[in-house]
Amino acid sequence: MTGKVYLVGAGPGDPGLLTVKAASLLQAADAVLHDDLVSPEVLKLVSPRAHLSNVGKRCGMQKITQQEINFLMVSLATLGMKVVRLKSGDPLVFGRLGQEIAALRKAGIEFEIVPGITSALGAAASLQIPLTDRCISPAVVLLTGQRADENDPIDWRKFVSSGTTLVIYMPGHRYAEMADRLRAAGASAETLCAIISRATAPDQRTHITSLEQLNRAPQLPSPTLLVVGEVVRFSRDFGSRLPAIHSLFAAAPIRSPEESVA
């Protein structure tokens, strides 16, 4: 009898943020193939009888290729095992999920996706930052600082617009490059930035600065996340200034699109 593969989100690190379904699957799995960034605290929830294997790729270093990961998932499921492919954060966000779905479908293996809390949400919650706000940020865009092809970088101008919050995954320590790309895309020098290192972990560290000063930011331990936009003012360091921000909008009622045209 053929087994089944579960593509599971491990959340950003804090085991308390793992979903109930994910925790249940870790206890019931015959095999768990996990990323490097899955926290040790989450891995402690894996059943001791399960085969546990680190198949992570991090900072350009590969223990195993994606093709080999696909082969492992298919092979273990073919043997009738319940396989958990455990990914940090949410598997649907920057997780190579498309390649694994394609491999499982090609092999005729049944699978299920179990979402998790992505790093953007975990990091923002830890700093008390809403990623959108009806007064100052109507949208949020998730980007990656990694490029599939250095000769064909993504044009960020299409993402940088007035009030939009940007969350940049995997910015590395290339803060000067990040600042240059954001400025070239139209962001102002005064735009606020928050660097969050090891979000939701006990050793989480943060640094808040402006785009103009981003190149001078300390190199915090990986993994890091970069939040860019006015919503950074909601963080604990800027909390006392929020009433002034919202009072500007309180005096001016929001108009419907029809009223604005009229």
Could you read off the pLDDT of 83-122 as tens digits, one per residue?
999 999 999 999 899 999 999 999 999 999 999 999 999 9
Q: Check for a shared fold between 4-117 and 120-250.
A: no
- Which CATH superfamily hosts domain 120-250? Tetrapyrrole methylase, C-terminal domain (3.30.950.10)
Q: 100 with 35: CB under 8 angstroms? A: no
Q: Domain limits of the chain?
A: 4-117, 120-250
Q: Which residue type occupies 174? A: R
pLDDT in tens, 127-170: 999 999 998 899 999 999 876 555 556 778 888 877 899 999 99
Residue 227 — pLDDT band, cuts 50, 70, 90?
very high
What is the mean predicted confidence (pLDDT) over 14-35? 97
CATH of domain 4-117: 3.40.1010.10
Q: 83 with 111: CB under 8 angstroms? A: no
pLDDT in tens, 172-186: 888 999 999 999 999
Active site residues: 35, 57
Which residues are within 8 A (CB) of 181 and not within 5 positions of it... i.e. 6 or more apart?
153, 156
Q: Which residue type occupies 180? A: D
Which residues are within 8 A (CB) of 139 and not within 5 positions of it... i.e. 6 or more apart?
132, 161, 163, 164, 165
Residue 261 — pLDDT band, cuts 50, 70, 90?
very low
End-to-end CA distance of the chain: 66
Q: 126 with 204: CB under 8 angstroms? A: yes
What is the mean predicted confidence (pLDDT) over 24-37? 97
Mean pLDDT of the chain: 88
